[in-house]
Amino acid sequence: MKFSLRNLLIVPFLLQIIGITGVVGYLSYRSGQRAVQAMVSQLMAETSQRVEESLSDYIKTPQLITIVNAHLVQQGQFSSTDLAALEGHFIQQLKLLPELEGLAMANQAGAFLNVARLDNGDLILRRRNITVNDGALYRYRIDREGQNLAVLDPPRFDYDPQRDPPGDPWYSAAQQSPAGLWRLVVSLSQGVDRPQLIMVRFMPIHSEAGQLEGVISTGVSLAELGNFMQSTMSGRRGQLFLMEPNGDLVATSAEDLPFDLQAKGDHAQNVAVQPRRLSVSQSTNSLTRAVAQTLLDQHQALSRIQSPAFSELRLDGHRYFVKATPLGGELNWILVTVIPNSEFMVNIYANVARTALLCALALMGAIGLGLWTAEYITQPILSLQQATQAFNSGMAVVPPTQPSRIREVEALRQGFDHMVGQLVGSFQNLKDRENTLATFLNGVPVAISVHDQTGQMLFLNAKGKELLTNGIALASAEQLAETYRLYRAGSHDLYPTAELPVVRGLRGETAYTDDIEVDTGERRMPLEVHTIPVFNGQGQVVYSINTFQDITERQQAEQLRANYQRELEHQVAEQTASLYASEITKQALINAIPDLLMRLGRDGLPREIYNLEAVHWIGDKTSLYKATMYDNLPEPLAQERQRCVEQALATDTIQRQEYEFIDQGQVFCEEARIIPVTPDEVLVVVRDISDRHKVDQLKDEFISIVSHELRTPLTAIRGALGILESGVLHNRPQKAQQMLHMALNNTERLIRLVNDILDLERLTSGRIDLGLEPCQIKDLIALAVNGVEAIAVEAGVALHTVPFSATVMAAPDAIVQTLTNLLGNAIKFSEPGSEIWLMTEVVACPVSEDKSALPESLRQPLPPQTFLQVAVRDQGRGIPPDRLELIFERFQQVDVSDSRQRSGTGLGLAICKQIVEQHGGAIWAESQLGQGSTFYFTLPLKTL
């Protein structure tokens, strides 16, 4: 339950004040009540006491007058027999004592004198003068001075004071009471028709002898007693009345008469007392009746009231206090004092009213003060509250707080203002930063939304509002898909809530999806959504931050790209195939290239190496890619190589390096080409040119030999002809003839040499077609033998041939030349007298006594084929084994001098070898030094 500060301050304050005021008022009232009670008691006591005293005084006067008059009569001042003397005395006493009703005296004689008072102040005189007249009773009006006697009524003759009233005559009653007697009597002093009930004090008068002389009395009117009682009330409201213990009314301060005034015809009845008595219950005064009833209710019988008794009653809306006091004594009356509450309560009420007024004033004052205080206290606090509310509701300007004179509140206010100032500053700062952030977020080309734990969107940046046209709508997580019309891509199904990235983010996941589409009303827009959860200090997810963007273009681009990619893949596949083929080709090419290929960086480290085996690698083959190329070369070559690489990279030109080096005693010759590939990479191609070098050397050597072989005969020719031409031999014809012969011989030698060289060149170049044809071998042998027969004879050498018939596929001239060369050589190196055999046989494959002597090519198994084998055996000096193969090379005679001595060119066997090999045959030699040599060659037989 919440209370406002103002109420909290005011209500208890008011309750307090009202409570205190109420208690004070109540206590005041109570004390007032008690005071009233006390006052009532006091007043009652005072009143009854005064009434008692007055009554006592009032009653004492008739008693005293009675005693005085009786005494005067007894003293003889007045005669008891002649009552006339008492008339003046009685009149005088009445004039002096207004409270007296009347004075009377009756004597033994029956005379009777009575002076009584009328209401108007005049007096009544009644007398029965026995001596003067006939004993009748006369009644006269006299004035106040006792003069002007006037008879009022006719004399009554039936009156005897000693017998009146009949039945209970007061005279005899008084006679019985020497001290005096009170007695109620009916007085007719005011007329028979106006009987009065009065209270009379009777006293008998006795003579000195003790003889009764008469009875004297003094009366007081009960009505007067009532008036007296009324006067004792001295203006107070209220009532007094006297009553007999039996309830008969004696006197009352009220207006009504306490007895029956009605006259009756019969005298006895007229003067009978008892019938004229009125009970208090029969009083015409309602208050008297009510009091009587109350007393009766309280005490059952009035005679039981033995002590002063108090009671209260309510009548006609008034409260009355009642006190009944038994007076005791001779009369034994009960005095009843009735005083209305209002008599006392006026002041009390005034007091109460004053108290109430003061209380009300105090209350109002207190309330006013309370309100003012509450206002005074609450106003600054309320201003703080208003400021807080304004602050809370995000108002830009916080209303100023009210200063307070209350130190604590002022401190609170100042503290609040300071705090608000700081907060406003902070908020402004925060707002600035928010604005900056918002500007930033709105500037971001990606849509961003922030959701709280329920999924409700809190923030959406400008880009987001473009994509989600609903903007920030009221929607929980379950309503997001419907509210923002989010569909699963490619379907009409709303995106399932549980899978929404926002919801996954709220579960603490970092989510990504691109299968969401938003219905913009015009089209379905594909979105890519990234979501991250934001945790608070307790690790609970407080926000989910979404970034999303339209990926239509990207999807189209992806589609396009996919198409391109398919196309590309297709092309790549094709090209890969072709590349594979080309790679295979390249690999084959690389394998086919007899060069070391190396991709080399500027740093000298190899990137790729192919065909390492193509060169003689002197470096460590286990760490090819760790060492630079220069580490694998001898020092001067390494420097040269590095220079070439730098040159190639600098000038973008191919550099060449040709060099030789010696490793383990062997000379290697290499050629390196440095080809720039990229600004930092070169291709190094290294070729082992040792063979080529060797070939070149061989070529050089060949040229050198040829040059030498050609120049030697030319020198001789030139020299001989030069000398001849100079004429110095004019006188020496023999010498000149020798020179001429020399020139001619050398010319012949030169011709042979040139012919052989040309033959060999034609044969080795393969440019001539030998024109194979079926030939009968014996014909060819015959031709050859015929050709050399002459020189054999000249040399003294016997030439034997074994006839053999076989058909071979051959170029006849070439085979003849071969046979001629072999036979010529045999003849040249045969001593005279020796023999030469030419033998022919058919072999499955060429056989040899010494297989190792066979040429390399013949050691391989050959397809089953039959060959014709021709052998030329001599008995010459023989050939050293190390030259058995060399002799088939050019200019490789066993002895250089042979060429001069045996007129050979050094090319014959080389020509033979070329011819035989071009026929598909083989040629080789076997020899034993000093015993002779055998030259074999084979020719394939013509298959039929």
Does position 754 bind other proteins by CB under 8 A? no
**Would you count residue 703 as binding other proteins (CB under 8 A)?**
yes
Q: Which is nearer to other proteins, 862 or 929 (CB)?
A: 929
As a whole number of angstroms, the distance between CA 452 and CA 463 comes to 20
Is 589 a residue that touches other proteins (CB under 8 A)? no
Nearest CA to 228 out of 244, 217, 238, 240 is that of 240
Residue 803's SS3 state is: coil
Nearer to other proteins, 332 or 704 (CB): 704
Q: How far is the CB of 829 from other proteins (least distance, A)?
A: 16
Residue among 228, 296, 300, 226 nearest 257 (CA): 226
Strand 798-801 relative to strand 835-843, pairing: parallel
CB of 735 to other proteins, least distance (A): 8
The count of chain residues that interact with other proteins, using the rule CB under 8 A, is 30
Locus of tokens 């040229």: 703
Q: Does 711 bind other proteins (CB under 8 A)?
A: yes
Selected binder of other proteins within 91, 477, 716, 868 (CB under 8 A): 716
Q: Which listed residue (74, 745, 747, 764) binds other proteins by CB under 8 A?
A: 745
Q: Are 156 and 134 in contact (CB under 8 A)?
A: no
Q: Is 704 in the site for other proteins (CB under 8 A)?
A: yes
Q: Are strands 239-243 and 112-117 parallel, antiparallel or unpaired?
A: unpaired
Among 511, 717, 760, 915, binds other proteins (CB under 8 A): 717
The single residue among 148, 571, 707, 755 that binds other proteins, judged by CB under 8 A, is: 707
User: Which of 566, 900 has the CB closer to other proteins?
Assistant: 900
Which residue's CB is nearer to other proteins, number 116 or number 716? 716
The H or E element containing residue 551 is none
Please identify which residue in 523, 718, 800, 859 interacts with other proteins, judged by CB under 8 A: 718
Query: Are residues 294 and 311 in contact, defined by beta-carbon separation less than 8 angstroms?
Result: yes
The 10 Å Cβ neighbour count of residue 656 is 11
Q: What token pair was written down for 246?
A: 């039996």
Query: Least distance to other proteins from the beta carbon of 734, Å?
Result: 13
DSSP state of 832: T
Render 564-623 in DSSP notation, one character per residue. Answer: HHHHHHHHHHHHHHHHHHHHHHHHHHHHHS-EEEEEEETTS-EEEEE-GGGS---S-GGG
DSSP 468: -
Q: Which stretch binds other proteins (CB under 8 A): 248-256, 630-638, 712-720, 766-774?
A: 712-720
Kindly tell me which residue out of 111, 254, 420, 720 binds other proteins, with binding defined by CB under 8 A.
Answer: 720
CB of 725 to other proteins, least distance (A): 8
- For the bound state, the minimum distance from the C-beta of residue 738 to other proteins, rounded and expressed in Å, comes to 8
- Exactly one of 351, 442, 712, 807 binds other proteins (CB under 8 A); that residue is 712
The string of DSSP letters for 291-340 reads HHHHHHHHHSSGGG--S-EEEEEEETTEEEEEEEEEEETTTTEEEEEEEE
User: Across-strand partners of 200?
Assistant: 183, 219
Is residue 714 a contact point for other proteins (CB under 8 A)? yes
- Between 738 and 931, name the residue whose CB sits nearer to other proteins: 738
Let me know: does 248 contact 277? Beta carbons within 8 Å.
yes
Long-range contacts of 315-320 (CB under 8 A, 24+ apart): 315/286, 315/287, 315/290, 316/286, 318/342, 319/345, 320/238, 320/287, 320/291
Q: Which of residues 264-303 bind other proteins (CB under 8 A)?
A: none
Could you say which of 147, 300, 392, 726 contacts other proteins (CB under 8 A)?
726
CA distance 535 to 544: 9
By CB under 8 A, the residues from 642 to 701 that bind other proteins are 700
Interface region with other proteins, contact rule CB under 8 A, candidates 18-26, 168-176, 468-476, 711-719: 711-719
Among 453, 859, 895, 929, binds other proteins (CB under 8 A): 895
Minimum Å distance from CB 745 to other proteins? 8
Strands 681-688 and 798-801: what pairing? unpaired
- Tell me how far, at minimum, the Cβ of 882 lies from other proteins, in Å: 16
Q: Cβ 887 to other proteins, closest distance in Å?
A: 15
Q: How far is the CB of 878 from other proteins (least distance, A)?
A: 18
Shorter beta-carbon distance to other proteins: residue 485 or 877: 877
| CA proximity to 529, closest of 518, 537, 540 | 518
Judged on CB neighbours under 10 Å (0-12, 13-18, 19+), 712 is: middle
Residues between 898 and 927 with contacts to other proteins, criterion CB under 8 A:
900
Which residues of this protein are in contact with other proteins, per CB under 8 A?
700, 703-704, 707-708, 710-720, 722-723, 726, 728, 735, 738-739, 742, 745-746, 895-897, 900
